[in-house]
Amino acid sequence: MINQLLLFFLVASLTISCTNDEDRAWNQALFKNSDLAIDSFMIKYPNSKYTSEASDFKEKLAWASVLETNTVYSYKKYLADYPSGKFKDLVPQQLNSILSNNINLDELTKSTFIGKINYGSYETQILTFKFANILKDSSGIRFLAKINTSEIRKDIEGRIDPDNFLIMFMEDPKDKSMLNITDGRAYMKENKIILESTNINQYWHLVKYNE
């Protein structure tokens, strides 16, 4: 709250002292505190004197969002978007802080999930996702997942690493209805089990459905 007030008074004082439209537009973009506002400013002023500051501000917004999300995918995506980013050295310790050991395995494998798979150009809605036929062996946990999407119904084999709850899917490449779903990880957030991609080339997200 204090930081928001400081930002408000800073922007207000700068706006009063502005002498041209570009300065006023920049301070208005800062005040809105969003990617969209910064992008809109840069479209209007592509050769702006604030170009470097705009880039820094967008990275700070991205990092704040990553910290709030706090998943493996979000940190990997940050590194991909900002390979020389100001916060890249903080990523390893943040990744190490992500724990899944508060997940109850029985609850995980007996729960029903809903969500989506984002392929970039389109999304597939996951209407139901449920683990089935759970088998434990020396290398971890084997499963058969039953998936009902907005387009198809199918079963996918896979494994769960019980040490860090990594989820690995093994689809048959000869299957014409392949989802090409990448590996992911299970987390516990706000008392809900969440399954999420750990591969930045494909984003998918599933959350436990409260039946």
Q: 34-80, pLDDT tens digit by residue?
A: 889 988 988 998 888 999 999 999 999 999 999 999 999 999 999 99
C-alpha separations of 30 from 43, 53, 58, 93, 142 in Å: 15, 10, 10, 30, 50
What is the fold, at CATH topology level, of the domain defined by 105-208?
Lipocalin (2.40.128)
Q: Where in the chain is the domain with CATH 2.40.128.20?
A: 105-208
Do the beta carbons of residue 123 and residue 135 sit within 8 Å?
A: no
Q: How far apart are CA 62 and CA 190, in angstroms?
A: 22
pLDDT in tens, 183-199: 999 988 888 899 999 99
State mean pLDDT over 157-169: 90
Q: Which amino acid is at 30?
A: L
User: Quick one: tokens of 61?
Assistant: 């917004």
- Let me know if 176 is exposed, middle or buried by CB neighbors in 10 A (0-12, 13-18, 19+): exposed
